[in-house]
Amino acid sequence: MDRLSTSLAALFASFSAAAAPTIERADWASAFSAQGVRGTFVLYRPALERFEVLDPARARQRYLPASTFKIANALIALDCGSLRDQHEVFHWDGKAKMRRAWERDHTLDSGMRESVVWMFQEIARRTGKARMKEGLQRLGYGNGDIGGGIDHFWLQGSLRISANEQVDFLRRLREGRLAVTPRSARLVRNALVVERTPTYTLYAKTGTTGGTRDAVAWWIGWIERDATPTAYFALNYAPGPRTPYAARFAIGRSILHDEGMLP
């Protein structure tokens, strides 16, 4: 897809989003305040073609994607061949890592599940600046800026994306509307499954920046019932020094439970 086609696709997507009704949900703030933070929550219900948003201004503001970028990183890599498939093994270098779960070999599925930073940094280095920049343009991902180093631009560099854009990106991924091969989209969607039950499947990804002026914590994803998406969501907030990592799940699950999306 050329740049003109990419720009037109992004423009049409923005028109579609603007046409969908939006309801402001100030009542959701209590789920954030219970965790001692303030943030935004964006929910899109396909059956109703309706957005519901806590703090629309924050939902439009762009932040570092942190590890939520692993979704786009993997899509671009699979498409250009810097990641072969879901079976390719990335070998741990034997050195101590930030998390114990990172101190072993990983594949796409385990690397996504455990959010293995070193693995996806290696994938980005293999992809390289030119292919990464072109891939972001094709995906229409955030501001598309890879300044800050090929293996750091989504963690501490210049890449930015909003909660509204995260939901749009996930919708296009699930609906097959991204400029990637069906194979790439399928493998990444499969890697995002975090919970599968007889009644629903939850696809999701976390992200957290550290040591930045605009620190942010993310949880984004979608829910399916009978292989049909029932909700897409994205939340973010500014974590404090003592905000637990699991606060995002407490917030997100509380809202999704109250809205009848999760048990």
What digits encode the pLDDT tens for the residues 207-227? 999 766 789 999 999 999 999
- Residues paired with 53 in a beta bridge: 24, 42
Q: Are 204 and 106 in contact, with CB atoms under 8 Å apart? A: no
What structural domains does the chain harbor?
A: 3-258 (3.40.710.10)
Q: Residue 157 — pLDDT band, cuts 50, 70, 90?
A: very high
Q: Are 113 and 92 in contact, with CB atoms under 8 Å apart? A: no
Q: Residue 5 — pLDDT band, cuts 50, 70, 90?
A: very low
Q: Which residue of the set 7, 33, 67, 254 is catalytic? A: 67
pTM: predicted TM-score of the whole model, two decimal places: 0.92
Q: What is the DSSP string of 99-147?
A: SGGGSS-B-HHHHHHTT-HHHHHHHHHHHHHHHHHHHHHHHT-TT---T
Q: What is the pLDDT of residues 95-104, one digit of tens each?
A: 999 999 999 9
Rounded to an integer, what distance in angstroms lies between the CA atom of residue 206 and that of residue 248?
8
Position 153 pLDDT exceeds 60: yes
What's the pLDDT at 212? 65
Mean pLDDT of 178-200: 98
Active site residue 158: no
